[in-house]
């Protein structure tokens, strides 16, 4: 009984040990097995018997499981054997397909290599064409120079040389033929100088030979002057003006005084001063000798006639001459403006920088510190205009200096004629340019920048006149140049045109709006036309950063106000009869984008939410309809602290009536739904209250 009870107590313990062996990690098996040997003496034998019984049970379970899944394993093997044949067929097909692909690809590779070779040849041809296009104008101009030299059109030849040196040679300076041309130009200039000196000597000799006939003709004309008709006087003045050296395009074949005057103008800026002085001194010296010979009275003749009327005539001719010059320079200015690209002048090296500085007095330490390539802020027309104003001063001086007036009077004449050029001719050309339809916003911005630099250059023109006449600007009676007012007026006109064109662009975008005013739900994003408009405004305001701050701010504020007004007019358009709540919500999304644009500070300098206030009328109106807060609006109307202070009752009434019509149309069976009936009644009630409010306002007015 003792063994039986002992065995019964041991079996549950053995089952627990077996469960621990089956369920725990192998690292913990040792302590568990040790507990078998630590118990009763026969516990090990009984545990082994129990373990054998457990193993047999597990074997039976395994056998049952294998028998259960054996048929499935057999079926799987059978399927694999079937697939093996298909797999071999597929392998053959894949191998064959790969071979055919490789064969077809060989031809494609050949064609591809041919295309690559063609593309390389095409690129090389394009490069050659571009280089030839750069060289052809230079060769054509040099050929034109040779033709002018052969035709003895020396003044035109000098101008062609100047164009070659300043414009064309810098393009192709790296080519050898250009270096040969550059080396040949000084010799051509020297040849022209020698020929001009020879012509001058022949001209002076001709004057000396025919002085008797010239004097006789002059006396006869003076004798009959009083009997000339007014029309004949004008005709003679025009003929006389035409004979003056006002045509810089060619030298007349007749040997007259124009040969001298052209020869003095036909040199470069550096060589011109020395050569002009040589010609002028020689001319003056020879003419003085001739004058002494002519003025020596012969035995049968003394002169003694008053010449005041002759000088009066010369002054009249001078005025006519100045008018002719102004007309000519008006055409010159127009051509300069037509040829300008209205982009900052690019420079890639020090040589180009010095060329521009030599033509126009520009000083900017910041620009000098920048590395190449860099850009001048003004466009190409600025140095050209500056050079032409100096040319005009030279042309005006050529006539004035022969009137035997004092330096002070000549200085006054030059300044007055230059003022006429600036305030009348150049100003008129600028205003006409600004109003041309093809001048866009970018061009107008560049014109404003150009006028700023031209205005700053006026002091250098005053110094230029001072150096010519040796009359100090501090003299009491010295006339100042009116460049400040001229370019200021042009800038104001350009700024006004910017505001106008910017609003026109906004109108063009707004006309693209295509709202579905009866939509039931909004699209969930802003309209495409409005995002395009905002992107355009962002890009154009980036260009405006070069403008003075107030101009850019005014343009930005004007654009936002115009856009707000246009959107408001779109809502209140009389042709728009119905507006749904979904359309109002879509419209609200667009206005939100406008407000985000205003808050992003597209132009720096605005304080707080100043720019956003441009859309405040729209915002309060849309908030009123989005929240449907009519009780607050009607209760607070007219009070300074009203939440909807900027909402006009008439505007609200107009929009609400359009929504009322839409509500009626879309709710044919509204009488069957209580919510729709309540909403319709609310709209009708608010409409009545707004009408009474509007009528009260009109009666009060």
Measured CA to CA, the distance from residue 555 to residue 542 in angstroms comes to: 12
Following DSSP, what letter does each residue of 441-474 receive, concatenated?
Answer: HHHHHHHHHHHHHHHHTHHHHHHHHHHHH---TT
pLDDT the model gives residue 368: 86
pLDDT the model gives residue 596: 94
Tokens read off for 391: 């040319």
Residue 171 in this model has a pLDDT that exceeds 80: yes
* 151 φ/ψ angles, rounded to the nearest 5 degrees: -85, 5
- List the domain range (segments joined by +) for residue 88: 45-152
Quick check: is 298 in a domain?
no
Measured CA to CA, the distance from residue 157 to residue 22 in angstroms comes to: 114
Last residue of a domain, one of 152, 176, 209: 152
Grade residue 559 by pLDDT with cuts at 50, 70 and 90: very high
> Mean pLDDT over residues 148-168, rounded?
87
Please indicate whether residue 231 or residue 154 has the higher confidence score (pLDDT).
154
> Mean pLDDT over residues 29-52, rounded?
71
Q: Which residues contact 238 (CB under 8 A, 6 or more apart)?
A: 320
C-beta separation of 166 from 356 below 8 A:
no
Question: Are both 458 and 516 inside the same structural domain?
Answer: no
Cα–Cα separations (whole angstroms), residue 48 to 5, 30, 51:
19, 16, 5
pLDDT the model gives residue 37: 65
The CATH number linked to 342 is: 1.10.357.30
Last residue of a domain, one of 120, 152, 184: 152
Residue 683 in this model has a pLDDT that exceeds 90: no
Residue 300 in this model has a pLDDT that exceeds 50: no
pLDDT the model gives residue 343: 92
Q: Quick one: which of 500, 507, 559 has its CA closest to 529?
A: 507
Quick check: is 214 in a domain?
no
pLDDT digits (tens, 9 = 90+) for 516-537: 999 989 988 999 999 999 999 9
Do the bridges between strand 346-347 and strand 374-375 make them parallel or antiparallel, or are there none, so unpaired?
antiparallel
Measured CA to CA, the distance from residue 649 to residue 632 in angstroms comes to: 13
Q: Which residues contact 37 (CB under 8 A, 6 or more apart)?
A: 43, 44
Give the distance, in angstroms, between the CA of residue 634 and the centroid of all CA atoms in the same chain: 49
pLDDT digits (tens, 9 = 90+) for 598-644: 999 899 888 888 999 999 999 999 999 988 888 898 888 888 888 99
Quick check: is 251 in a domain?
no
Residue with tokens 């879309």: 666
pLDDT the model gives residue 104: 84
Residue with tokens 């549950």: 12
C-beta separation of 540 from 506 below 8 A:
no
Residue 689 in this model has a pLDDT that exceeds 70: yes
pLDDT the model gives residue 686: 86
Measured CA to CA, the distance from residue 298 to residue 445 in angstroms comes to: 70
pLDDT the model gives residue 259: 39
Residue 60 in this model has a pLDDT that exceeds 70: yes
Following DSSP, what letter does each residue of 275-329 receive, concatenated?
Answer: HHHHHHHHHHHHHHHHHHHHHS--TT-------HHHHHHHHHHHHHHHHHHHHHH
Residue 7 in this model has a pLDDT that exceeds 50: no
Tokens read off for 195: 């020929």
Number of other CB atoms surrounding residue 464 within 10 Å: 19
Residue 479 in this model has a pLDDT that exceeds 50: yes
Percent share of the chain, pLDDT over 70: 81
Quick check: is 16 in a domain?
no
Residue 306 in this model has a pLDDT that exceeds 60: yes
Instruction: To the nearest 10°, report the CA torsion of 414, 420, 425, 426.
Output: 70
Q: Quick one: which of 634, 639, 609, 638 has its CA closest to 624?
A: 634
Last residue of a domain, one of 424, 456, 474: 474
Cα angle: 188, vertex 193, 196; to 5 degrees: 125
Tokens read off for 487: 């370019």
pLDDT the model gives residue 249: 39
Question: Are both 319 and 466 inside the same structural domain?
Answer: yes
Percent share of the chain, pLDDT over 90: 28
Q: Which residues contact 431 (CB under 8 A, 6 or more apart)?
A: 489, 490, 493
Question: Are both 542 and 433 inside the same structural domain?
Answer: no
In 279-436, DSSP assigns E strands to 346-347, 374-375
Q: How many domains does the chain have?
A: 3
Quick check: is 180 in a domain?
no
Residue 665 in this model has a pLDDT that exceeds 60: no
pLDDT the model gives residue 41: 65
Question: Are both 426 and 519 inside the same structural domain?
Answer: no
pLDDT the model gives residue 558: 93
pLDDT the model gives residue 234: 52
């Amino acid at each position: 009984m003792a063994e039986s009870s002992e065995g019964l107590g041991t079996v549950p313990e053995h089952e627990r040990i077996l469960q621990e062996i089956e369920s725990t990690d192998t690292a913990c098996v040792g302590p568990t097995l040790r507990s078998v040997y630590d118990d009763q003496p026969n516990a090990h034998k009984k545990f082994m018997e129990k373990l054998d019984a457990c193993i047999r049970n597990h074997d039976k379970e395994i056998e049952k499981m294998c028998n259960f899944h054996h048929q499935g394993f057999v079926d799987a093997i059978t399927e694999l054997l079937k697939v093996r044949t298909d797999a071999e067929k597929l392998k053959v097909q894949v191998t064959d397909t790969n071979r055919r692909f490789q064969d077809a690809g060989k031809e494609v590779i050949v064609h591809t290599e041919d295309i690559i070779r063609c593309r390389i040849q095409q690129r090389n041809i394009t490069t050659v064409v571009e280089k030839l296009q750069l060289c052809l104008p230079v060769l054509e101009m040099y050929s034109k120079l040779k033709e002018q030299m052969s035709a003895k059109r020396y003044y035109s030849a000098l101008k062609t040389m100047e164009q070659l040196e300043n414009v064309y040679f810098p393009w192709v300076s790296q080519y050898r033929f250009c270096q040969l041309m550059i080396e040949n130009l000084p010799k051509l200039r020297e040849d022209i100088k020698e020929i001009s000196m020879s012509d001058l000597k022949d001209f002076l000799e001709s004057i000396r030979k025919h002085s008797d006939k010239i004097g006789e003709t002059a006396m006869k004309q003076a004798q009959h002057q009083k009997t000339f008709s007014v029309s004949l006087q004008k005709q003679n003045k025009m003929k006389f003006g035409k004979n003056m050296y006002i045509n810089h395009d060619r030298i007349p074949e007749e040997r007259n005084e124009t040969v001298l005057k052209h020869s003095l103008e036909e040199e470069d800026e550096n060589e011109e001063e020395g050569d002009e002085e040589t010609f002028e001194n020689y001319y003056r010296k020879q003419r003085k000798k001739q004058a002494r010979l002519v003025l020596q009275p012969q035995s049968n003749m003394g002169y003694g006639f008053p010449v005041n009327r002759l000088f009066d005539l010369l002054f009249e001719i001078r005025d006519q001459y100045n008018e002719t010059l102004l007309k000519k320079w008006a055409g010159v200015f127009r051509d300069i403006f037509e040829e300008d690209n209205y982009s900052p002048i690019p420079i890639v090296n020090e040589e180009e920088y010095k060329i521009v500085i030599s033509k126009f007095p520009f000083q900017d330490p910041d620009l000098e510190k920048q590395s190449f390539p860099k850009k001048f802020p003004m466009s190409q027309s600025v140095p050209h205009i500056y050079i032409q104003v100096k040319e005009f001063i030279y042309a005006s001086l050529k006539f004035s200096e022969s009137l035997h007036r004092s330096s002070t009077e000549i200085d006054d004449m030059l300044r007055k004629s230059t003022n006429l050029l600036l305030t009348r001719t150049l100003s008129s050309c600028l205003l006409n340019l600004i109003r041309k339809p093809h001048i866009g916003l970018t061009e107008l911005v560049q014109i404003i920048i150009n006028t700023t630099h031209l205005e700053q250059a006026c002091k250098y023109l005053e110094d230029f006149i001072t150096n010519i006449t040796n009359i100090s600007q501090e003299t009491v009676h010295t006339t100042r140049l009116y460049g400040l007012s001229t370019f200021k007026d042009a800038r104001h006109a350009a700024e006004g045109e910017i505001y106008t064109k910017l609003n026109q662009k906004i109108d063009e975008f707004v006309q693209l709006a295509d709202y579905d005013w009866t939509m039931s739900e909004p699209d969930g994003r802003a309209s495409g036309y409005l995002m395009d408009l905002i992107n355009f405004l962002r890009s154009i305001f980036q260009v405006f950063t070069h403008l003075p701050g107030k101009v850019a701010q005014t343009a930005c504020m004007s654009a936002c106000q115009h856009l707000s007004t246009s959107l408001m007019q779109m809502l209140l358009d009389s042709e728009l009869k119905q507006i749904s709540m979904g359309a109002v919500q879509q419209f609200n999304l667009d206005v939100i984008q406008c407000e985000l644009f205003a808050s992003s500070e597209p132009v720096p300098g605005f304080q707080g939410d100043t720019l956003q206030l441009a859309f405040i009328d729209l915002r309060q109106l849309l908030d009123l309809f989005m929240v449907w807060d009519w009780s607050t609006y009607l209760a607070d109307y007219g009070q300074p602290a009203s939440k909807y202070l900027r909402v006009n009752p008439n505007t609200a009434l107009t929009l609400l009536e359009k929504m009322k019509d839409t509500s009626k149309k879309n709710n044919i069976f509204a009488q069957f739904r209580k919510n729709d009936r309540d909403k319709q009644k609310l709209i009708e009630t608010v409409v009545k209250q707004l009408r009474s409010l509007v009528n009260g306002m009109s009666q009060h007015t």
